[in-house]
Chain A
Amino acid sequence: GQNIDQPTEMTATEGAIVQINCTYQTSGFNGLFWYQQHAGEAPTFLSYNVLDGLEEKGRFSSFLSRSKGYSYLLLKELQMKDSASYLCAVTDSNYQLIWGAGTKLIIKP
């Protein structure tokens, strides 16, 4: 079966750095997405990786290793507004988007 694993919940301190991991087992791979979802709101796009390596976008970076079926989202200089769920999603060989359950990130002052 197809599976996306990410931690259920993480806690970090304002101003710090946090890394949210995602591992996947899918039938084929055509890219990995990270989305941010604040409570009661819709998911919004953060990043897309299809090649191995690190993609940096401001305070957020996303890393991919296709051979390991592994990605992480790195958030720097954490702000209270970063408190949200972070969803990892993989496009399989049929271009179906498979979603993880999300990681709830709690930022403390």
Chain B
Amino acid sequence: DTAVSQTPKYLVTQMGNDKSIKCEQNLGHDTMYWYKQDSKKFLKIMFSYNNKELIINETVPNRFSPKSPDKAHLNLHINSLELGDSAVYFCASTTGGDTGELFFGEGSRLTVL
């Protein structure tokens, strides 16, 4: 059983389109994240949800919007895609707390043409 699963794994689309990436975790964790990893391999946090409340919202464009229907799901919707949005997007979850180990999904590679 996959602990953190995201779909799709690969996404190729044109500039200006709108797309969504879905994430689900079956670990019973309270906190979920979306990270962006660009070609330089830095992991940049985008959003964090704790019990359906947004608790971190880094300086990302408002074209990106997280949606959490319940605490096991955190989806990422992106409007008006730009070339610079091409990256690997990772979903992750944790029990929280200061020693919380992150469990990552397999990543979704987005390519904007």
Interface residues of A (CB under 8 A from B): 30-31, 33, 35, 40-45, 48, 50, 85, 87, 89, 91, 95-97, 99, 101-102
Contact = CB atoms under 8 A, between A and B. Distances in A.
14 contacts: A33-B101, A33-B102, A41-B106, A41-B107, A42-B90, A43-B104, A45-B102, A50-B98, A50-B99, A89-B43, A96-B56, A99-B42, A99-B43, A102-B41
Interface of B: 40-45, 56, 90, 98-99, 101-107
B9 to A, nearest CB: 10
B110 to A, nearest CB: 14
A50 B98 CA distance: 10
A12 to B, nearest CB: 19
B99 A87 contact: no
Contact of B101 (A40, A48, A95, A101): A48
A43 B102 contact: yes
Given A85-B41, A97-B45, A91 B98 contact: yes
B43 A42 contact: no
B85 to A, nearest CB: 19
Contacts of B99: 31, 48, 50
A31 B98 contact: yes
Given A40-B107, A42-B90, A102-B41, 10 more contacts: A30-B98, A31-B99, A43-B102, A48-B101, A50-B98, A50-B99, A85-B41, A89-B43, A95-B98, A96-B56
Contacts of B103: 45
Given A41-B107, A42-B105, A101 B98 contact: no
Contact of B104 (A40, A42, A91): A42
